[in-house]
Structure 1
Amino acid sequence: MAAAVDGRMGRTISTLEQLVAIPGIAWEAFDPADLLHSAETVADLIRGLGIEDVQVLNVPNGEKSGGPAVVARRQAAPGKPTVLLYAHHDVQPPGDLSLWKTEPFAATEIDGRLYGRGAADDKAGIMAHVGAVEALLAALGDDFSLGLTFFIVGEEEAGSPTFRSFLETHRELLQADVIIVADSGNWRVGVPALTTSLRGLVDGVVELQVLDHAVHSGMFGGPILDAPTLLARLIATFHDETGAVAIEGLVGSESAAVDYPESDFRRDSSVLDSVQLAGTGPIADRLWNKPALSIIGMDVPSVALSSNTLLPSARAKLSLRLAPGQDPAAAMEALAAHIDAHAPFGAKVRFVPGEQGAAFSTDTTAPAAQAALWALGKAWGTGPVETGIGGSIPFIADLTELYPAAQILITGVEDPDSRAHSANESLHLGDFRNAILAEALLLARLDKEGL
């Protein structure tokens, strides 16, 4: 199998470079023609594998259509399982071009890494699927009889607004026994990982009002604290003196199976040397198995537009990551109750709930997970890490709900220096090769042994 992968790596990388050149971005400010071009290019790639049942589909999103998804099917032989291969072809906007050391949509290889927007997240995920299937067909020929469904979506970076309705519309079309989500990462370069847990997520906006209208800060300041100051006092109640989340009713645990040394975390995160890390317990658990609350946006005047005025109102958007085992609805209620109970100085406070998504955990004793761990070890030549992810993939909860019998595996090609969503996103080409080989070995084992 390794020979089949290696013999095609030059072409696989070249194809990935062609995908990176397409600026398919699902945000309204960008040309939807590029997104459709991206989807059609992926569809053609899959047709090149000899799969004839290939469609570019979408569902309504209000008055518009959702991002174009590619769905391709290869029927299973009698008694063989079907595996769904998920990835996304849309990418994040490039952001500030002055921060890039290469052109974001011109893939550039430097010292064994391929730089470009989407080179890692998640066009490499697409090519991991395509490369693995291509190698399998070359190595096994007609003996390969596993069922395959490619599901390559086109709006993940825009929050997957039509994902749930797409699944409900095409539920039977996407039915599978195993789902491989190639949109995560490895422990570090040279060390593979199977992502076995994801934190859940709730978010919302807190609005605080202290005056009916703005007034002169010199004339009225002193007896009255302005809205941003009181909002800051409210925000300060979200964490205790260690920096741990202090919202009553949230769950957490210390159950991570691996150690994440502080020195490694500081290097990977780029946190300043002088900054004290928040929370207590092992760092891996603080990242994967405990809640985390961030302020991701505030509406107050900018410094450039500031004046000597007591501001009557301010608001902030909160993002609360949830530990596995936490019910999102209960977490949203706990967050709302905390805000209501800690309104400072009698200010009028209102919480507007936003999105919510459940956490996820893998049963690593299940046959597909055991096969994946074996395949990762064979491809890299070293034992894989069962890792959590501090982030959330809300659509995983939709897959879990609509396909409860399917075994879900979260894999990926990224490493701590891939800088997905940031300037200078890149892919380690050695790990990319190993990811393709691992998926090919996994699919071959499922084809031979079933579930």
Structure 2
Amino acid sequence: MTSDTSRPEAVREAALGAVPAALADLGALVRIPSIAFPGFDRAEVQRSAEAVSALVDELDLFDRVEIKTAVIPETGEEGMPAVLATRAAKNGRPTILLYAHHDVQPVGDEDLWESPPFEPTVRDGRIYGRGAADDKAGIMAHVGALRALREALGADFDLGVNLFFEGEEEAGSASFAQFLADNADALRADVIVVADSGNWDAATPALTVSLRGNVRFTLDIETLEHASHSGMFGGAVPDAMMAAVRLLDTLWDEDGAVAVDGLTSRDADTPEYREETLRDEAGLPDGVTPIGRDSILSRIWNKPSVTITGIDAPTVKNASNTLAPKTSVVLSCRIAPGQDAREAYAAIEAHLRANAPFGARLAFRDVDFGNPFLVDTSGWAVSQARDALASGYGVDPVDIGVGGSIPFIADLVREFPGAQILVTGVEDPHARAHSPNESLHIETFRHALVSEALLLESLDATVR
């Protein structure tokens, strides 16, 4: 056991030494195509859970390690396997819950990948592969930090630690709320670290203090009882694609800002962020202009957005001279912090119904809600997390908002209202999560692992 004065440095050295093994184990996890979406092989998600469970077992730190599922209340179906581990706190120390997820996004068009998506490949200081950043690196940051803590302090430290490594986050966390309810006692903690966000850049750490919410739904637009010849009836009969184009265009104004009455914005300052940085990080080429108004980060963090993420229409290859009777689109609507997702959905639905052209018939289905999140930054754990990030990265952390959503955080807040929730991550702006050529910046991962190990050490020295 090290002395109190040398403990942080011992943990730092152990954490740096833990990085190579953590990266090797990350590579093994990336090789498992653990896609939890319908139509993909559930056995691969189970295999991923078993591999993660084995890594946790090898730590030899937990009172129990289990692979568990919960029933999806709406369907009665079994959710995807998650890894749950528990270790009781001693001597007045707090308990921390470490969250990450082991499922990944589908790969999309494999032709757009520069290397096979499930073969981890190192190029230019980055590891490429699906899940390399989102979020198997989050799992390995947790595991690597615990390995370092054990090596530096021994297995008999006082901090309580619970692990929850989910298996269906990318597919919507359908059984998440039920899993929390079923395992509330095992998951209860004073501090929750959600390692599923990003950093300001590859060298500067961040705490995510705001997240937009999400409303996602499928919209069916119908104008005809059956398809008809576009030459025989075109010009007199509105087809569904025409109605869809006219209707969807009403969602934005001439600047590309969302134009839906009832959707709110949050008034909050944002750091300086130049258009050149946006172009570099988002892949926006010269000549294509950004959309919206006010500061760029305000548009991303504090205002709503509407994106068409899917459309059912004849392909170019299958085009025919036909008036389409029905078109379906998927809309993903990001909601500003401070607005309830169901309230926002009601405003969007009312707007679409009021603006349906030519009497087009609308139907709404597969509606999914995720509320926004604002972090209370006044807690003692937030201060300790900032100190750990500053020490681990060598740079003071930045408080950031994120335009994306982590809807299950609302479930955590509801189930554990007294817990302090810290949203961190291992990604940098070039990680391309959810996209082809997803990657992890190795140095960012190294700093993230060290920072988390230092946070664990700090919490182990805290008596509440």
**What TM-score does the superposition give when structure 2 sets the normalisation length?**
0.93
Q: CA deviation at 1:380?
A: 0.9
2:419 aligns with 406
2:69 aligns with 58
Unaligned runs of 5+ in 2: 1-10
**Partner-residue secondary structure (3-state), 2:216:** strand
Q: CA deviation at 1:131?
A: 0.9
| Alpha-carbon distance in 2 for matches of 1:102, 1:306 | 33
1:74 aligns with 87
What whole-Å deviation, never above 9, does each CA across 1:45-79 have from its counterpart, x for those lacking one?
11221124111111234464211111111110032
**Number of equivalenced pairs:** 451
| Alpha-carbon distance in 1 for matches of 2:123, 2:317 | 40
Pairing 1:114–2:130 present: no
Pairing 1:394–2:407 present: yes
Q: CA deviation at 1:200?
A: 0.4
Letter in 1 for 2:266: S
Q: Give yes or no for contact 2:266–2:338 (8 Å, CA) kept in 1.
A: no
Pairing 1:301–2:314 present: yes
Distance 1:95 1:318, change over 3 A: closer
1:27 aligns with 37
2:8 aligns with none
| Alpha-carbon distance in 1 for matches of 2:178, 2:375 | 24
Letter in 1 for 2:162: T
2:222 aligns with 209
Letter in 1 for 2:287: S
Letter in 1 for 2:195: A
**What TM-score does the superposition give when structure 1 sets the normalisation length?**
0.96
**Partner-residue secondary structure (3-state), 1:305:** coil
What whole-Å deviation, never above 9, does each CA across 1:99-134 have from its counterpart, x for those lacking one?
222232222222221122211111111111011111
Root-mean-square deviation over aligned CA pairs: 1.7
Letter in 1 for 2:231: G
Q: Give yes or no for contact 1:257–1:386 (8 Å, CA) kept in 2.
A: no
Letter in 2 for 1:297: G
Letter in 1 for 2:57: R
| Alpha-carbon distance in 2 for matches of 1:183, 1:268 | 19
2:46 aligns with 36
Distance 1:349 1:26, change over 3 A: closer
Deviates more, 1:231-240 or 1:8-17: 8-17
Pairing 1:271–2:284 present: yes
Q: CA deviation at 1:360?
A: 0.3
| Alpha-carbon distance in 2 for matches of 1:143, 1:258 | 43
Pairing 1:177–2:187 present: no
**Partner-residue secondary structure (3-state), 1:55:** strand
Q: Give yes or no for contact 1:332–1:353 (8 Å, CA) kept in 2.
A: no
Pairing 1:196–2:209 present: yes
| Alpha-carbon distance in 2 for matches of 1:86, 1:210 | 47
| Alpha-carbon distance in 1 for matches of 2:338, 2:100 | 26
1:288 aligns with 301
Deviates more, 1:52-61 or 1:90-99: 90-99
What whole-Å deviation, never above 9, does each CA across 1:301-351 have from its counterpart, x for those lacking one?
222222222222223221110000011121111111111211213333333
Distance 1:359 1:431, change over 3 A: same
**Partner-residue secondary structure (3-state), 1:408:** strand
2:104 aligns with 91
Pairing 1:5–2:18 present: no
| Alpha-carbon distance in 2 for matches of 1:257, 1:89 | 32
Q: Give yes or no for contact 2:93–2:462 (8 Å, CA) kept in 1.
A: no
| Alpha-carbon distance in 1 for matches of 2:304, 2:360 | 27
| Alpha-carbon distance in 2 for matches of 1:317, 1:145 | 49
Q: Give yes or no for contact 1:256–1:284 (8 Å, CA) kept in 2.
A: no
Q: CA deviation at 1:203?
A: 2.0
Q: How does 1:121-132 map to 2 (within 5 A)?
A: 121-132=134-145
| Alpha-carbon distance in 2 for matches of 1:100, 1:227 | 35
Aligned with residue 45 of structure 1, among 30, 55, 58: 55
Q: How does 1:161-176 map to 2 (within 5 A)?
A: 161-176=174-189
Q: How does 1:116-265 map to 2 (within 5 A)?
A: 116-141=129-154, 144-265=157-278
Q: CA deviation at 1:207?
A: 2.4
| Alpha-carbon distance in 1 for matches of 2:116, 2:345 | 41
2:3 aligns with none
